[in-house]
Chains A and B, each alone.
Chain A
Amino acid sequence: MTLDAVIVGSGPGGATAADVLTAAGWSVAIIEKGRNHLLDPEDLRRPAFDYSNDEIKYLTRHFLGPDPLVEPRTFRADPVDGDHTHVGEFNSVPSTVGGGGTHADGKVPRFMPDDFRVHSLLGPQPDADVADWPLGYDELEPFYAEAERLIGVAGTEGANPFAGPRSAPFPMPSGAPMYGALLSSEAAVRLGYHPYPAPTAANSVPYDGRPACNNCGFCAYFGCPIHAKGDPVAMLVRAMATGRAELHAETFVSRICFEGRKATGVEVVAPDGSKQVIGARHVVVAAGAIETPRLLLLSGLDHPLVGRYLMTHYQTIVAGTLPVRTHAERGRAVTHVHDDMIVGDDDTRAAAVAAGLPWLRGGMVEHSGSGLPIMEARHYPWGEQHPHLMTNSPIRQRLWAFIMQGEDLPYPGNRVDLDPTVRDARGFPVARVTYRPGRHELAASAHYGPRLRAILKEMGAEWTAVTSSPGRGNATSPEGIPESRHNMGTVRMGADPTTSVVGPAGRLHQFDNVVVADSSVFVTSTGYGPTLTLAALAARAAHLLVGS
């Protein structure tokens, strides 16, 4: 029996597609190259309980993968630097059943309506290929509502004055605000900004058979030990419960098989190293914005734009130490954000003019502390002062920070292709990233850094520092490597096959039955994390496939 669809990747995109397709009666195989720690191997209709509050397992030992020794990526800031300047980790999102949903702290904002038509509203930017999306907020809104319901999102309606209209309330109310975030929100309000409780995929009440979050604090970077987090566990459990889904973990898709304009299935490397072909009527690719273009290139797709327009969010990071202890190790890592720096104001417009650019856009600003002791310990110099620094704890207990996920423009030179020499342990060429921030990103960050610092000073910060990711030092050093983990844009969506790789329904222009269901299809990066939007797009693409 031929499967209706084979889905490459089990993260929020693939899991959403699996949920929608199996609900409509389709049979699917979900192929995941990473390990399964999310679903009970004895009964895949139930969650597993492998996750824990363990800083070693997650932050220093690659528990959620990928391990850069066996699945490296390579990086260079510019082709003139040679084949690559770095081999190892690049902006890795977990490679595991559940994908990026497992490690995130679950902030899942929608985009604003204007985000879909920046080119029409603001005009072009030098060097970048800014374009409108081929669909608008209104068209995506029902799928935003569906994705929020499927994942389980807690939020406060009306709290964000910049938010677009909603057809349904948040499925849950917001959870407990962190003490430090209350302090930073009060300071931000005094300076005229509009902080609000971040829409968060962590249950504030029991939801969908999963318990309420108990604020354990091991949220960002960690799998949720009690499955209160809206990682894709809910969608995968539902898909498995239909009896129409298979899960193949530790199985690597090495190639999509084509006959003419049709894909016939995928070639995989099984856990024992043997090669197999899994046939299907449709192929859904949801491997993330680095691995999806890698797979398309390994499959011989020759569209010249595959891999181009990589965007990652240019982060502006402003940190300071407070006179009070914020106990940032309690709660959901980030409970408050503000969007004023996406919208901008007269000062922002003046900064754009001064930089010789038509406009500047920042990003959503996360209000956060840092509660992890190993990471703290490594930041202090070793020796006699170390135990005293750990007790006084300027980082873990007193540091407060703003992280702005700055909009990264789509530059054709920022791209993913196949490294000419470096291989993964299975013998396949790895993804090579060529990336550097453009004038827009540097100018926006330079403009917003001091404004964020002013909020910290308003909070009473005794010491402050402004930095960015990637750093502004030597572009060929590891400092040039971004850390946002928000990878987007490498398989661009559009109506015109000469300026885009997939059409408005997420289908590859060159083939009849291959859909891309992850953040690769993003036309612009906006200033928001990609998860909810990619899940909404995956839901929409899946509904279009089954005709529902």
Chain B
Amino acid sequence: MPVWLTEDEFETLSVACDRLLPPSDASPGAVAAGVPDYIDGLLGAFCVDPPKIWAGGPVSGRHGGEPSFARFHRLGALDELAWRMRIEGSRGLPEREFNGPVIGLQERYRQGLAALGDDFRQLGPQAQDQRLRSLPHVADLLFGHACEGMYGAPEYGGNRDGSGWDAIGFAGDVQPRGWTDAEVSDP
């Protein structure tokens, strides 16, 4: 169950993300890596407490140590204002419109996914790519977040089990192990 998107929107998002970051022999595609969950988690960041904005520190446990990444930070008043503006938009609230109205990510996604069309999921891959190319503001919005969901820390909901990192030989968050001097200096 998606956190914020409707099931229909989530399905469209999933199909679109798999065109932006498709699977290959070596790499999972966006859907297999959980990219749509990452994006839905960002849009619904305030559906959980503390909001899923900033993961904790200092280590995830993937390279040793006691895992604490998944403890998300509480936001201060100013940060909550900023992130509600960014995600929800200003919604006509004076305290969010000190420099004019702000369109939030939720609205941009809702409109962007609608713009892809009811038939988008039924199209063939090439026609889907063509549709995305004809809506560059939608493709750019999804692609930027898809890259985060594919190659960011798994605690944010994407990069399932580190599969995005594994595919490209990236070790991810290496604290507290780090790298030895020889691993830094040798070929």
Contact = CB atoms under 8 A, between A and B. Distances in A.
SS of A interface (majority): loop
A295 interface: no
Contacts of A215: 178-181, 183-184
Contact of A178 (B77, B86, B185): B185
A65 to B, nearest CB: 8
A324 B187 CA distance: 9
Nearest to A384: B22
Given A56-B55, A179-B186, A373-B151, A387 B20 contact: no
A393 B27 CA distance: 13
Which of B69, B83, B170, B177 is packed against the most chain A CB atoms within 10 Å? B170
B69 A52 contact: yes
B43 interface: no
- Minimum-distance CB pairs A-B, first 9: A214-B178, A53-B173, A52-B57, A377-B147, A387-B24, A225-B58, A176-B181, A373-B151, A387-B27
Nearest to B178: A214
Interface of B: 19-24, 26-27, 29, 53-60, 68-69, 73, 76-79, 81-83, 85-86, 95, 98-99, 102, 129, 132, 139, 143-144, 146-148, 150-153, 156, 164-165, 167-181, 183-187
A241 to B, nearest CB: 22
A226 interface: yes
26 contacts: A51-B57, A52-B59, A53-B173, A55-B151, A56-B156, A57-B54, A57-B55, A61-B54, A87-B99, A176-B185, A179-B184, A179-B186, A215-B179, A217-B179, A218-B173, A226-B58, A271-B76, A373-B168, A374-B152, A378-B144, A382-B21, A382-B132, A382-B139, A383-B22, A390-B168, A427-B98
Nearest to B102: A69
B76 to A, nearest CB: 5
A386 interface: yes
Given A225-B176, A425-B81, 7 more contacts: A35-B76, A50-B56, A50-B73, A214-B178, A216-B175, A387-B26, A422-B99
Contacts of B76: 35, 250, 271
A214 B179 contact: yes
Nearest to B145: A60
B99 A386 contact: no
Contact of A35 (B57, B79, B132, B176): B79
A72 B175 contact: no
B110 to A, nearest CB: 20
A509 B81 CA distance: 39
Interface string A51-77: 111111100111100010110100000
A271 B86 CA distance: 21
B53 to A, nearest CB: 6
A330 interface: yes
A60 B151 CA distance: 13
Contact of B20 (A53, A55, A217, A386): A386
A387 B35 CA distance: 14
Contact of A177 (B68, B165, B184): B184
A390 B166 CA distance: 11
Contacts of A423: 98-99
Nearest to B142: A382
A61 B53 contact: yes
Given A331-B184, A387-B21, A387-B26, A52 B55 contact: yes
B175 A225 contact: yes
B157 to A, nearest CB: 10
A55 B57 contact: no
Nearest to A228: B178
A217 B174 contact: yes
B175 A53 contact: yes
Given A54-B153, A56-B156, A374-B148, A390 B102 contact: no
Nearest to A252: B78
B57 A50 contact: yes
Contacts of B175: 52-53, 214, 216, 218, 225-226
B53 A214 contact: no
A31 to B, nearest CB: 15
Contact of B185 (A35, A182, A250, A390): A182
